[in-house]
Amino acid sequence: MSETASHAGLRLLRNAEVYAPRPLGRQHLLLGGGKILWMGAQAPELPQAVLADSIDLQGRRLIPGLIDGHVHVTGGGGEAGFRTRVPAPTLSRYTRAGVTSVVGLLGTDDLARSTRELVAAVYALREEGLNAWGYCGGYHLPPATLTGSVRGDVVFIEPLIGAGEVAISDHRSSQPTLDELLRLASEAHVAGLMSGKAGIVHLHLGDGARGLELVRQALERSELPARVFNPTHVNRRKALFEEALELARRGCWIDLTAFPVEEGEDAWSADEALQRYLDSGAPPERVTVSSDAGGCLPCFDADGRVCGMDVGESGALLDSLNAVLARGVALERALPAYTLNPAQLLRLDGKGRIGVGADADLVTLDERGAAHDVFIGGVAHLRDGAIVRHGQFETPARPTGASAPIPPQH
């Protein structure tokens, strides 16, 4: 049955082991209109005429769709010449990894890549069925914008929910001063108040020795709420992670990056950092994990030149979640960092949880912890581990001369 028909009718998911993120045991869920309409321990008796689909999940774990809050939806890179510009990830690169919502941003290259291009990429992902938003700006100040100001972008450009990723403590940054950071944060905060959006500044942290000193000064010398300052990559150095823990206790949300960490490196992997965070006594709701998908993960020599690079993947989120579970952390304790916590920080109503009235963004996990089924707004993108909904330019090959159809809208 086509997904167009399924979206028009009701979909019943039976025999799911639900983590909402808290464990709810074996449940049945009725989906319709993009929402979870009903959930209960006893399967409802419904006339077949109203059911577009009924799926027996056979006791697989059902979790909220993952929210990847740091994605280069236009592609990243470019630090070692134009040939190192990373291509934009395609739809299934997210969905096969259990990601149902992304927040796009610009990084080092906020010149050749623009806020205009970012917004277009967000709209394209939405048309393909993914939940997507973005930040205006990039590494540098003054920030790249569409309207001429951060406040104007967040208030008037619907998909833009804050500013980022603004670089600090990094040789690639514009070396912002405290006054510049406070002006930017005040613009984002007031825009959030006016629009009901997140209104945060997502801060890229480099390897610089100054670490989070600029954020500490901002908290001490202004009236801005701590939640406005959202540092990411804070597990890239062990000392930086300790600084971030203290900021979380002061009210900031901190973001861990699921990047590869070599043995003996002065960094924490996302799974080890998350376990350490949860065991530290810091507020458990103020930590998130993101992938840096589509972004360049470079290393630099003493002169600041790229000496090697990797590319971030959204699949790193599920990998890190499974790694933290292997450390003995319970799923219901680890899961909020990938679902509920980013939804609350980003003020994405209906996301990050499973319950009646919530959005039907759902993922089932197989016995290995891989995504087995993925539903976004109740529409299947992955079924039994196979992609059933492709992006416009990743549709399986067709005979010569056959035209590629435009994916159905919903």
CA distance 71 to 88: 10
Min mean pLDDT across 138-147, 204-213, 288-297, 319-328 is at: 288-297
**pLDDT tens, position by position, 21-42:** 999 999 999 999 999 999 999 9
Q: What's the CATH number of domain 66-345, 3.20.20.140, 3.40.50.300, 3.30.460.10, 3.40.50.620?
A: 3.20.20.140
The predicted pLDDT at position 141 comes to 97
What is the mean pLDDT of the segment spanning 369-377? 98
The predicted pLDDT at position 308 comes to 60
How buried is 360 (Cβ within 10 angstroms: 0-12 exposed, 13-18 middle, 19+ buried)? buried
Choosing from 292, 319, 361, 373, the catalytic residue is 292
Q: Where are the domains of the chain?
A: 3-63+354-387, 66-345
Active site residue 292: yes
Q: Percent of the chain, pLDDT > 90?
A: 81
The answer on whether 204 is annotated among ligand-binding residues is yes
The answer on whether 292 is annotated among ligand-binding residues is yes
- The SS3 of residue 100 is strand
pLDDT beyond 50 at 401 = no
- As a whole number, the mean pLDDT across the chain is 91
- The SS3 of residue 62 is strand
Residue 306: pLDDT band (50, 70, 90) is low
What is the mean pLDDT of the segment spanning 375-384? 97
| pLDDT: which is higher, 273 or 87 | 273
The predicted pLDDT at position 83 comes to 81
| pLDDT: which is higher, 125 or 1 | 125
pLDDT beyond 50 at 410 = no
CA distance 72 to 335: 23
Rounded to the nearest 5°, which phi and psi values hold at 89? -65, 145
The predicted pLDDT at position 159 comes to 98
**pLDDT tens, position by position, 136-176:** 999 999 999 999 999 999 999 999 999 999 999 999 999 99
Task: Report the Cα–Cα distance between both ends of the chain, in Å, rounded.
Answer: 16
Min mean pLDDT across 247-256, 354-363, 396-405 is at: 396-405
245, 277 contact by CB (below 8 A): yes
Long-range contacts of 237-243, Cβ-Cβ distance < 8 Å, separation of 24 or more: 237/207, 237/211, 237/266, 237/267, 238/266, 238/267, 238/268, 239/211, 240/205, 240/211, 240/212, 241/268, 241/273, 241/276, 243/211, 243/212
Q: Percent of the chain, pLDDT > 70?
A: 90
pLDDT beyond 50 at 133 = yes
The answer on whether 70 is annotated among ligand-binding residues is yes
What is the mean pLDDT of the segment spanning 350-370? 98
Residue 44: pLDDT band (50, 70, 90) is confident
- The SS3 of residue 160 is strand
3-63+354-387: CATH homologous superfamily?
A: Urease, subunit C, domain 1 (2.30.40.10)
pLDDT beyond 70 at 7 = no
Query: pTM for this structure?
Result: 0.92
